[in-house]
Structure 1
Amino acid sequence: MTDDLKSWSPRQRPDGLSATGRTVRIERIVDDRRFGELYDAFSADAEGTLYAWLPYGPFESRSNFMDFARRTYIGGEPCFYAIIPQASDRAEGVAALMRTDTVMGVTEVGHVCLAPSLQRTVAATEAFALLMAYVFDALGYRRFEWKCDNGNAPSKNAAARLGFVEEGLFRQHMIVKGRNRDTSWWSIVDTEWPALRHAFSRWLDPANFDGSGRQIRPLSEFRG
């Protein structure tokens, strides 16, 4: 994107993506068909850390989660997606496109919740790559944001690994579960996306994984 934006026009709101990759697919959540799968996958979090940095959870029962999911996951904003690894064909995570500004071409990925079975997997990485491709290639947005509690080191590490650039800290930005949240802001802009798209493509190539499915070269090398 050049600095000359005289021809810029508002973009479409994210509202209907279903995309399939080599190891995962993402589906817009429009009903409760996947909620039981999500509850089962999230319930494998024996350490009880899955909701540590989210403003909700943990849930006392399946019915509590189902009520929450119906209120939260179904609707227009935020726009929630189920993350479904090809290996299991069951939903094992969610992510949302949110705080979308169609006039400026900006959206944010948030409400990320990945079951233990999905964390640190090729499918998880590819799911984020599919969302980025939707935002930049299909919708033509200028900016894709990632925000998290500044104390959430795993989230910040994930953002950096996926190619987001750290921009700064919003102090005392929110109150979450009775405590202060300083928010760390990250982004990818459209001029950075082509190189990042290429890096994802090379990392996801089956030739980059050995017979046990372990990566041969990390994503950071392809991004380098």
Structure 2
Amino acid sequence: MEYFNELNQPVGEPLPNWEPRPHPQRITLQGRLCRLEPLTLNHAEALFNAYQLFPDDGHWTWMLRGPDKTVEEHKEWIQSVLTVNDPINYAVIDTKTNQPVGSIALMRIDANNGVMEVGHVHYSPLLAKTIIATEAQWLLMNYAFETLGYRRYEWKCNACNEPSRRSALRLGFQYEGRFRQAIVTKGHNRDTDWFSIIDKEWPDVNKALQKWLSADNFDQDGKQKQSLEDCRK
């Protein structure tokens, strides 16, 4: 549908009742297999040790910072983000072990326009390609759309980071385009790929994610019966 102003010029969809949305808070978000806790220094040592399970530093390649070579360096980074309003970092806790297995953040928060981004996703081998990896993402999406009422939820990544691009599409984000020469990072050019989910798309994205995450979708060995792509169809 097209909309026009009093001068017969095309304009966007009217939002007569729009109000700025609440800023996300450092709260705990509970899921079936994991929970997200506000990141603190108490998570530092276990997180650092989890990242040491990688065979090399390849997991740092597309991060904007790092690698952290010692637990003290990891603590210094956590200390630097403990009280800032943006980004808000969370530790991903495996409820079976009660240990942190990765971290994730809400960032580039624009409460006036109801827009924010999920970023700083840093999963250890204990988390990568697990059910929890998807549930952690869903917990933040659900918080953004259902609890806070945001209109747009973004995912951005280095255009060279093919695993991140695949993850975004798998989760239901729509590819929007490439910002060429967006930043310089670690002495290299970075083109940035943009993805998003908007509020009109969220109900279908949410339905598919909840269907996939349901305990009924996994056998006793934890193997999925339906892929997320199949659940979306």
Once residues 101 and 15 of structure 2 are traced to their aligned partners in structure 1, the CA distance between those partners, rounded to angstroms, is 40
Identity of aligned residues (%): 40
| Structure 2 equivalent of residue 208 of structure 1 | 217
Q: Does 1:62 align with 2:71?
A: yes
Once residues 19 and 83 of structure 2 are traced to their aligned partners in structure 1, the CA distance between those partners, rounded to angstroms, is 28
Q: Does 1:26 align with 2:36?
A: yes
| Structure 1 equivalent of residue 136 of structure 2 | 127
Supply the AA of the counterpart residue of 2:87.
P
- Between stretches 120-129 and 80-89, larger displacement belongs to 80-89
| Structure 2 equivalent of residue 96 of structure 1 | 105
1:177-220 Cα deviation digits (max 9, x unpaired): 00000000000000111111111111111111111101011011
User: Which is greater in Rg?
Assistant: 2
Structure 1 unaligned blocks of 5 or more: none
Once residues 74 and 56 of structure 2 are traced to their aligned partners in structure 1, the CA distance between those partners, rounded to angstroms, is 18
By how many angstroms is 1:48 displaced? 1.7
- Between stretches 54-63 and 138-147, larger displacement belongs to 54-63
Q: Quick one: higher RCO (CA 8 Å, sep 6+), 1 or 2? A: 1
2:41 alignment partner, SS class: coil
Q: Is the Cα contact below 8 Å between 1:74 and 1:80 reproduced in 2? A: no
1:1-224 pair list within 5 angstroms: 3-29=13-39, 31-224=40-233
By how many angstroms is 1:107 displaced? 0.2
- Between stretches 177-186 and 53-62, larger displacement belongs to 53-62
Equivalenced residues, count = 222
Once residues 157 and 74 of structure 1 are traced to their aligned partners in structure 2, the CA distance between those partners, rounded to angstroms, is 32
Supply the AA of the counterpart residue of 1:18.
T
Ranges of 4+ aligned residues in structure 1 off by more than 2 Å: 72-75
Once residues 54 and 16 of structure 1 are traced to their aligned partners in structure 2, the CA distance between those partners, rounded to angstroms, is 23
- Between stretches 198-207 and 136-145, larger displacement belongs to 198-207
By how many angstroms is 1:165 displaced? 0.3
Q: Is the Cα contact below 8 Å between 2:44 and 2:71 reproduced in 1? A: no
Structure 2 unaligned blocks of 5 or more: 1-11
1:55 alignment partner, SS class: coil
Q: Is the Cα contact below 8 Å between 1:17 and 1:134 reproduced in 2? A: no
Once residues 93 and 84 of structure 1 are traced to their aligned partners in structure 2, the CA distance between those partners, rounded to angstroms, is 8
Once residues 13 and 84 of structure 2 are traced to their aligned partners in structure 1, the CA distance between those partners, rounded to angstroms, is 35
Once residues 169 and 4 of structure 1 are traced to their aligned partners in structure 2, the CA distance between those partners, rounded to angstroms, is 28
Supply the AA of the counterpart residue of 1:67.
E
- Between stretches 14-23 and 131-140, larger displacement belongs to 14-23
TM-score (norm 1): 0.96
Supply the AA of the counterpart residue of 1:223.
R
By how many angstroms is 1:32 displaced? 1.0
Supply the AA of the counterpart residue of 2:21.
R
Q: Is the Cα contact below 8 Å between 2:60 and 2:67 reproduced in 1? A: yes
Q: Is the Cα contact below 8 Å between 1:93 and 1:114 reproduced in 2? A: yes
